[in-house]
Amino acid sequence: MDKNLKFAKSGWKAELKLGFTHTANKTVLSERNHKGPLTVQRPFYPEGECCHVYVLHPPGGIVSGDQLAIDINVNKNAKALITTPGASKFYRSSGEQAFQTIALSINEGATLEWLPQETIVFEGARLVSDVQIDLAENSRFIAWEILVLGRPAADEGFNLGEAFLNWQINRQGKPLFLEKMRLDAESFAARWGLDGCSCCGSLFAFGASEANLEAIRTLIDGTPRQGVTLIDDLLICRASAKKAQSVRLFFEKVRQLIRYDIVQQQPYTPRIWAT
């Protein structure tokens, strides 16, 4: 979380703190605290020991001045998958920014899949999103962020507004990956930016290998606006497209390819994504 951010005085303030603990036969949601309109459904176990949780934001959208903070701790040897039942929506701003901060701690031998559905940034919205992931040496994770600028189905582009996206991934307390990105009307339209593509996304996976890298290169097979690289044990996939579904399907295929190697779970698609 960027401690230099100046939060607005108005809007919803919501916090969610979750803790996952490994027991004899499964991972349990051992800590669940929330303030404001941010909570989770009851955990369930479609795959056995891995704990699945859906994060809920009952208002359904985020407006200027809103502040959402999610703090997740996956304790030693625990296994968790977290997603959302639908897309997040950041509405047109009246002037203030909306803030979203996500802190994920993955301890020794633990695995986490952080797989929220798309984030839709309406034209005129002002968003600051901070994601920080703290890793133990032998932890594993898969995480993605899929961003949609404007609403193409409603003939809305992104001629006004901005999104600041900050990622920090630490390994044993030392920075492994740092990125700060600003998306606005200029970068949305420019050839050096999104070139009018309404959707862009990043997928990260820690604990990856050269074999995973080659498998994804084969999957891409020259497809425009898709790419992959490996930095130490961190796999990074990028994609952009005119339609969010194209980025989403690419990331889902990548996850199916690498899931067993990364989190030791067979390919599985959360049922909520089909509703």
CA pair distance 271, 268, nearest whole angstrom:
9
The structural domain count of the chain equals 1
From the CB of residue 230, how many other CB atoms can be counted at a distance below 10 Å? 16
With a pLDDT cut of 70, the percent of the chain lying above it is 96
Predicted TM-score (pTM) of this structure: 0.93
Q: Are strands 226-231 and 234-241 parallel, antiparallel or unpaired?
A: antiparallel
Asked if the structure places residue 268 within a domain, the reply is no
**What pLDDT shows up at residue 3?**
41
Task: Answer whether residue 252 shows pLDDT above 60.
Answer: yes
With a pLDDT cut of 90, the percent of the chain lying above it is 86
Asked if the structure places residue 124 within a domain, the reply is yes
Model confidence pLDDT, tens digit, residues 94-107: 889 999 999 999 99
Asked if the structure places residue 31 within a domain, the reply is yes
Task: Print burial letters for 233-251: b (CB count within 10 Å at least 16), e (below 16).
Answer: bbbbbebbbeebebbbebb
Summarize the confidence of residues 133-149 as an average pLDDT: 96
Task: Answer whether residue 8 shows pLDDT above 50.
Answer: no
Residue appearing with tokens 């176990």: 45
Asked if the structure places residue 51 within a domain, the reply is yes
Q: Give the range of the structural domain holding residue 84, as residue numbers without chain letter.
A: 13-198
CA pair distance 108, 128, nearest whole angstrom:
30
Helix axes 210-220, 244-263, angle to 10 degrees: 160
CA pair distance 172, 182, nearest whole angstrom:
28
**What pLDDT shows up at residue 6?**
42
**What pLDDT shows up at residue 2?**
40
